[in-house]
């Protein structure tokens, strides 16, 4: 009988310890769950932002590269190049969320640097060039300066980023902006396209 009482007491002590342990594990899980959810949502939005950023980079460099390979550029050429820009963004939409601004910047001998012409297309997003407007002195990126008779083609790409999990508040919406600068290969490309 005494042995039965001892084993019953031991069983009750072990059971109460196990119940307390299970309760503390549930509390720890409840405290850690929001942190894990935030990490999951943040990682998903971060990966989405990185993919979009790479595609916007690709558009900037591809558009600039294609334009600078031309001996003469027309409006039809630029329209076709902008169609390619939209295809580079697939499967993500570019038409309503993006725009490409192509500028030809030229420095005549002994004169100030000027934007010879600009073209915006590829999407319906409304954004102004950070360089300035056609005919004005440009604000060139990264401290770029041109020597006399130098000409560069600059493509600026804007993309309106919206996070996947808007209500989570981890990443905020805003513009992705990329710029690419190439020197024309076959001719200066300072004549406005027609």
Task: Please give the structure tokens belonging to residue 187.
Answer: 């001719």
Which pLDDT tens digit goes with each residue over 38-65? 888 778 888 888 999 999 999 999 999 9
Q: 153 and 64 in contact (C-beta within 8 Å)? A: yes
Tell me which of 103 and 124 has the higher pLDDT. 103
Q: Where are the domains of the chain?
A: 2-182
- pTM, rounded to two decimals: 0.78
| Per-residue confidence band for 37, with pLDDT thresholds at 50, 70 and 90 | confident
Which pLDDT tens digit goes with each residue over 119-177? 998 888 889 999 989 888 898 888 888 889 999 999 999 999 888 876 656 677 788 99
Residue 6 CB neighbours (<10 A): 10
CB within 8 Å of 188: residues ≥ 6 apart: 106, 151
């Amino acid at each position: 009988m005494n042995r039965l009482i001892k084993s019953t007491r031991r069983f009750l002590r072990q059971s109460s310890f196990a119940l307390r342990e299970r309760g503390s594990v549930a509390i720890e899980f409840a405290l850690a769950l929001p942190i894990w959810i935030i990490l999951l949502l943040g990682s998903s939005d971060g990966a989405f932002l990185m993919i979009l950023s790479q595609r916007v980079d690709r558009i900037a460099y591809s558009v600039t590269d294609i334009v600078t390979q031309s001996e003469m550029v027309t409006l039809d050429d630029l329209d076709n190049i902008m169609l390619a820009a939209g295809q580079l963004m697939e499967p993500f939409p570019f038409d309503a969320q993006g725009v490409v601004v192509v500028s030809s910047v030229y420095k005549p001998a002994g004169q100030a640097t000027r934007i010879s012409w600009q073209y915006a297309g590829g999407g319906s997003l409304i954004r102004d060039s950070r360089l300035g407007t056609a005919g004005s002195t440009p604000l060139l990126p990264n401290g770029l300066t041109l020597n006399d008779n130098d000409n560069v083609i600059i493509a600026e790409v804007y993309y309106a980023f919206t996070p996947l999990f808007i209500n989570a508040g981890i990443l905020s919406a805003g513009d992705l902006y990329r710029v690419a600068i190439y020197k024309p290969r076959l001719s200066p490309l300072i004549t406005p396209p027609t």
